[in-house]
Every structure is written in C-alpha cells, then in structure tokens.
Amino acid sequence: MVFCLNCGNQINENARYCASCGAALFMWSFGGSVNPNKKNYARAMLIVFVTGLILSIIFGAALTSIIGELPSGTGGYY
C-alpha cells in the first residue's frame, strides 16, 4: 500500500504520478513492512537532518582545534 506524499491518497505502486493531485511520485526506500506516508517520510528526514547537524558540529570542532594549533604569525603578541 503506497500513499502520495503530497495529498496522502492511496496510489498504485507502479504509478509515476498521483491520480488525485497529479504530483510526481518520490519513492522513499522504506522496508517492506513500513508504510511510506507523510509521517514516516518526515521522521526519516528529521533523522537525516539531525545526523547532518551532529556531523557538522563534530567536523567544525575538529577544524577549529586544528586551526587553533597552527602558528598564528602575529609576531608573538599573544
């Protein structure tokens, strides 16, 4: 059972466009037992966003510490 991400209506699994709203269908690769509706799609996108945010913080902290260890070239005023 597949649902349109735009309007939520049930659609044929082989359809490329929603018959109800005409939206092009984006197929998220959920497992066989997961219903790919708006709630599950939003949850998956939230997980991707939080993972990206955490990785950005980690890499930003690592880059900051690397840059902080470089010689400053200020002539020793610090």
Number of structural domains found in the chain:
1
User: Distance between CA 61 and CA 14 in Å, rounded?
Assistant: 46
Give the pair of three-digit tokens for residue 30. Answer: 């959920």
Residue 68's pLDDT band (cuts 50, 70, 90): confident
CB 11 within 8 A of CB 3: yes
CB 17 within 8 A of CB 25: yes
Angle, CA of 12, 15 and 21, to the nearest 5°: 90
Is the residue at 37 inside a domain? yes
Is the residue at 75 inside a domain? no
Q: Print the domain residue range for 56.
A: 2-69
Share the mean pLDDT of the chain.
78
Q: What is the pLDDT of residues 17-47, one digit of tens each?
A: 788 888 876 555 555 666 667 787 888 889 9
Q: In the predicted model, what is the mean pLDDT of residues 13-20?
A: 79
